Structure 1
Amino acid sequence: MKYSKYNSLIQLSSSLSVLYNSKEDKSIVISNTKTDLLKLSPEHLSYQDSEIYNNLIQINAIVSEDKNELQEVINLGKQIENNDDYYKLIINPTMGCNFSCWYCYESHIVGSKMSSNNVSKILKLIDNILINKPNLKTFDLAFFGGEPLMYYSKVTRPIIDYYRTKYDIHKNINFEVSFTSNGYLLSDTILNHLTEKKEYKHFQITLDGNREEHNKVRVAQKEEGSYDVIINSIKRLLENGVEVVLRINYTALTAYSIIDILQDISHFTNEIKKNLSVDFHRVWQDKEEVEDIDEFIENTKQLFEEKSFRVVRNDIIENYQKPCYADKENEVVVNFNGDIYKCTARDFNKENSYGFIDDNGKLIWNEKIETWKKLKIQSKACQSCRILPLCGGGCHQINLELLGTDSCQMGYSETKKDEIILTRLEKLFFNE
């Protein structure tokens, strides 16, 4: 027998410590007077303290000598990522946008619009997915960009209309429609079309601080700015049964304005609040050191929750058990020009492309896809990490960009790993 490579021993107090196994997501609490026993070999431990030994066996903190835990973690990760009962098809109708947010990583292309020929290819791709994925249970048709509500009648509407013709044919599949949008262009015509059918619908819409701060970032042509228009769009979507994630982007300068957003949506009824989630994100380009900003954001989240708003609280274990859509095999992004990608968080240029969609709606992948498939958990830092089953090795896109390096892409120190474990234990013991 041997100790699991995914064990962590962390002191909790002057009298107690916890031994946590990240692969099993289980732990035992142990007296500090007995932690030295864990320096013994498993065989000697069984003689010295059979109770602790048996407890460690139960949580797989002690495993057989021939057990390849790393390979088991890799295999489970691949199984999750290669799950064939779900498919996410992301479409960029345009790379144009009605806003020019300073932090946007994309190169907006004015006047870009998916051609009717490429729309036809998308329709054939939908057919190919339904034909070639016999185990499919959920199909998510997602729109990104650019701003996906631009050119709605010429691009997005015909795709959705064709997609909807498949509902009665494939009654065993859950069909979904989703948008990542700024919400400003939501019209009665678009809303009426979206709500014609009862499929699950989802929007992610962003605010950049309170009215004053937001209107500096998302500048509208009209004098009144975009803030109130977007909040009204969110409200209308919620009232029509469309789920919305309100993403609140903040920087060191705008964080303290977020509380005003709570006041501006306080009139939302409990009936529509059930369709709303609030997700807080610091703009990644913002590196300014600000004391207590994390504590302030946490307190702000609690204020939202006190007003019965559901706040997104990500658990690190979801990185592994629920990986990013771009890490999954059954996912593709089709750009307006027919090029295909895996990740939406990078510029849609030729360098980042993974191939193209042909005239028959078939995805023609280039050689990069083979590299992408082999990327997961390739670095020595990941292979030797005691919290790998929580983190999952990070995302494919960053692993691709760090190919050949053996440092932790997350930048976790050993102290940070202990903090992550304690946060996970807090959730297990107090929330679950």
Structure 2
Amino acid sequence: MRSNGPTVPLRLYRGLTSAASLLAPAWLAHRVRKGKEDPRRIAERRGIASAERPKGPMVWVHGASVGEILSILPLTERLLERGFRVLVTSGTLTSSRILARRAHPGLIHQFVPLDARRFVARFLDHWQPDLALMAESELWPNLMGELSRRGTPLVLVNGRLSERSGERWAKLPKSARTLLGTVDLCLAQSHEDAERFHALGAPRVAATGNLKFDVPPPEADPEALAEMQAQVGDRPVLLAASTHPGEDESVIETHLRLRDSLPGLLTIIVPRHPERGEAIEALAAQAELDTIRRATGYLPGDATEIYVADTIGELGIFYRLAPVVFVGGSLVRHGGQTPIEAAKLGAVVLHGPHIWNFGALYAQLDADGGALPVSDAESMAEAVYTLFADHDLYQRTAEAAWRTTEALSGAMERTLTAIEPYLAQIRLARR
């Protein structure tokens, strides 16, 4: 589907990003100093490729960061099995490291170019994808407009549009309609997401489900897991997964409230951004709690109360250690991280009130009795204590969470079926 010409807000965006592109080298250099960009690959952010384009049909798959990349990796593997070359782009260092561990001869990773027309054009001139698949809510006007101009099919997979984002786009109805008019097919995570995309003007929308339900639980290095299990023993473990600034204080206070009622409690905090490890350690030290950071290379000792797991790619270890998991991003106004991984591995999920990123999923988990909402340290401590004290309640809640995630699987096959006409067209065109 091709859109009409750009609206005034979109023309303004185009002009501002073109002007800002002149400052891109300085801005990117600043991000390198902050440790947010790879200095060896910084040119990729300006659309300058660091690899040759292989011959043959190519599908470009984009995911913004870790969560999106993990959800689309199984899809890329299915495309590779079908003989397509796959270009995967992302915007974070952590996601690039995850992809590096999943090396495949037919898969190429590049950092996504900044959304300025000249960077985007340079990127597309080199890679010339036959099909573009964008994950979740990646709506970049210049990129989408350039794909439309070149006639490259664009499919939004695992599409997500929160109620809040939908309300914001609704204030610019013509721009939203123009932008979504460049999307040939929108495959939404839920019926609610599909309705929001359709209301904003997406011409072809289908609810295919959430790809994250079909992603296997995160892997855990067997030796590292066994080492941690031996060290922890039978201590009660609370995991705070993917926490954001403003939540660690509540988790630490929760631990303080439970010290006497749950002797030996070990609270593991896994920050969403590992570089916050030192700051979390300092917060725990202020509370006079015995604290160790995993990045220092040490395991928790018998006296350790707070273990800050500030490393990359090890969340699978800690999910397997903890029967109770607080999912971060939900006590602060971030919108919540996904509870799927914890639920699949048999944990009881606790979450705060700010869960709009996965609103339908959390609502289903709550309705099925598979998750417990909390609002602060007091309610979190009460929930944690109750779950450890009442094994039957814990078992029922964990099983309900697992059943909910299993019932919602199947998005992978529905997604592949939906994009098959585009894949078939590529095969025909490349003969």
Of structures 1 and 2, the one with the larger relative CO (CA 8 A, separation 6+) is 1
Give me the TM-score of the superposition, normalised by structure 1: 0.29
- Using the size of structure 2 for normalisation, the TM-score is 0.29
